[in-house]
Amino acid sequence: MKKILTTALGLLTMTCTFAQNPCISAIYTPDPAPYVHGDKVYLFVDHDEDDATYFLMKDWLVFSTEDMVNWQYLGAQVNTSTFAWAKQGDRAWAAQAVERKGKWYWYLCCNTADGKDALAVAVADKPEGPWKDAIGGPLATGFGFIDPTIFIEDDGTPFLFWGNKGFWYGELNDDMISFKNGYKEVPGYTDPKAFGELQSKMDWSIGKRRDMTQYEEGPWVTKRNGIYYAVYPAGGVPEYMGYSTAPTIHGPWTFKGRIMDEAENSFTIHGGNITYKGHDYMFYHNGALPNGGGFHRSTAIEEFKFNEDGTIPFIPFTKEGVKPVGTINPYAKVEAENMSGSWGIKLDRLAGCEHYVTSIHNGDWTKIRSVDLGAVAPTQITVSVLNVKNGGVIEFYANALSDKPFAHIEVNKQTTTITAPTFKAPTGVHDVYILYRGGDDELFEFDWWKANK
């Protein structure tokens, strides 16, 4: 009874207070690295473990969206075992991926088996993998060699930037996995005019405090209208988001100041900006989810507009996040792991292309925003479940769980694909909640759903 009451109270609270930020709530997603490719945004993140009491990170995850609010989980495509030379089971830290001439390159940081900070590269034909070690060893090692970011110049020349308590960069060869002429410190890294006024910070490479610029770690390098931007966590711990600009990729850099405050319930902040469908977005992470914190961080997104002079304005945090720039078609198969929010459920930790919602219990739910049910209401809903442990019910609601469901589907151990009639289903565009009901034990796993005329 206590579990049922707790679930009900959590359901009521989350239904009333749920917002778009963080934008993924089924799993922790720190250090977001978005990448626009065609009509999709791919989101590459690392992953804080649920039981972490310090940084405990074993794998990297991929998501995608076509509307900026519903994020489809594409799996845990790379983990530390992808790199035989790496320390296993931990230190799967910040990363960024890019497509180049039909291949995908994922630049990651981890530790070597003997504990050195290292940059790694994985390669694949598509974001869903399979990914493999592109080199067979680290691209570079050194103290503070973490948080790589890849930038490709207008003429196709690739550059890699990275660093904590240091800021390095190097031009890559056309193979994307080796440096053309080695690498060096970013010009002006120690100059307060370039990366913020000097302050006394602990430099672990020498074991004592020294004056350092505001730049801390996690660079994100872009170009817009001939201006180069380096966005980065700044100011020590806790971090805020700052940025510098330059007229060339080699500098000189000029510090432009703070664009985001310190993240909610997190002493780190890490992310970057993209332009998608005519909108500019800044990604970052915070600790705002239930049980969130400095070692349980989640991706959040804010929309912003560049100032007329090309500067980035100060970007306040919001609970509402961003608005949808597209709709979901429910008459095509909708993967259960494509959602804008959730309560209670988890995602699988698999590579490959087949994924599903797992750890489903009584009272758990998922939310899909901006579902276009059309001018004629659906007459049926089909669902596909797997690994049925206990029977239960899947209910579909429009706009709020406080309303009556428009579909009620009973799940048992004998059937995995089930079609049920709808009743008083709405037309037009609505947010859709999917609620799971059953006994006290785990129910089943959910693969996909589809509306039918």
What is the tens place of the pLDDT at every residue in 391-413? 999 999 999 999 999 999 999 98
| Amino acid 238: pLDDT | 97
Give the largest CA-CA distance in the chain: 69
State the Cα angle at 370 between 365 and 376, rounded to 5°. Answer: 105
- Contact criterion met (CB below 8 Å) for 350 and 361: no
Q: Which of 53-67, 198-212, 341-355, 420-434 has the lowest mean pLDDT?
A: 198-212
The pLDDT of residue 205: 78
Terminal C-alpha separation, the chain: 40
* Cα 292 from Cα 305, distance rounded (Å): 29
| Domain residue spans of the chain | 22-304, 334-452
Which of 3-17, 124-138, 192-206 is predicted most confidently?
A: 124-138
Q: What is the pLDDT of residues 319-362, one digit of tens each?
A: 999 999 999 999 999 999 999 999 999 999 999 999 999 999 99
CATH architecture, domain 334-452: Sandwich (2.60)
What is residue 131's predicted lDDT score, i.e. its pLDDT? 98
pLDDT surpasses 70 at 228 = yes
Return the amino acid letter for 321: G
What is the predicted pLDDT for the residue at 12? Answer: 43
Radius of gyration of the chain (CA): 23
Average pLDDT of span 64-81: 98
Confidence (pLDDT) at 15: 43
Phi, psi (rounded to 5 degrees) for 82:
-60, -25
pLDDT at 398: 98
Going by C-alpha positions, the residue among 401, 330, 332, 316 that lies closest to residue 372 is 330
Instruction: Pick the more confident residue, 19 or 119.
Output: 119
pLDDT score for 201: 83
The fold of the 22-304 domain, in CATH, is Tachylectin-2; Chain A (2.115.10)
Instruction: Say if CB 390 and CB 425 are below 8 A apart.
Output: no
pLDDT value of residue 123? 98
Q: How far is the C-alpha of 254 from the C-alpha of 391, rounded, in Å? A: 61
pLDDT digits (tens, 9 = 90+) for 9-40: 344 444 444 579 999 999 999 999 999 999 99
Q: In whole angstroms, give the CA distance from residue 444 to residue 356.
A: 11
Q: What are phi and psi of 128, to 5 degrees?
A: -80, 0
- Over residues 57-86, the mean pLDDT reads 98
Task: List Cα–Cα distances, 168 to 49, 274, 440, in angstroms.
Answer: 29, 22, 53
Q: What is the distance between the alpha carbons of residues 257 and 22, in angstroms, rounded to a whole number?
A: 25
What pLDDT does 10 receive?
A: 46
Checking if the pLDDT of 136 tops 90, the result is yes
Residue 308: what pLDDT?
A: 98
pLDDT score recorded for residue 164: 96
- How far apart are alpha carbons 69 and 301 in whole angstroms? 10
DSSP 186: P
Phi first, then psi: give them for residue 41, nearest 5 degrees. -110, 125
pLDDT of res. 202: 80
Burial of 101 (0-12, 13-18, 19+ CB in 10 A): exposed
The answer to whether residues 398 and 406 touch, using CB atoms and an 8 Å cutoff, is yes
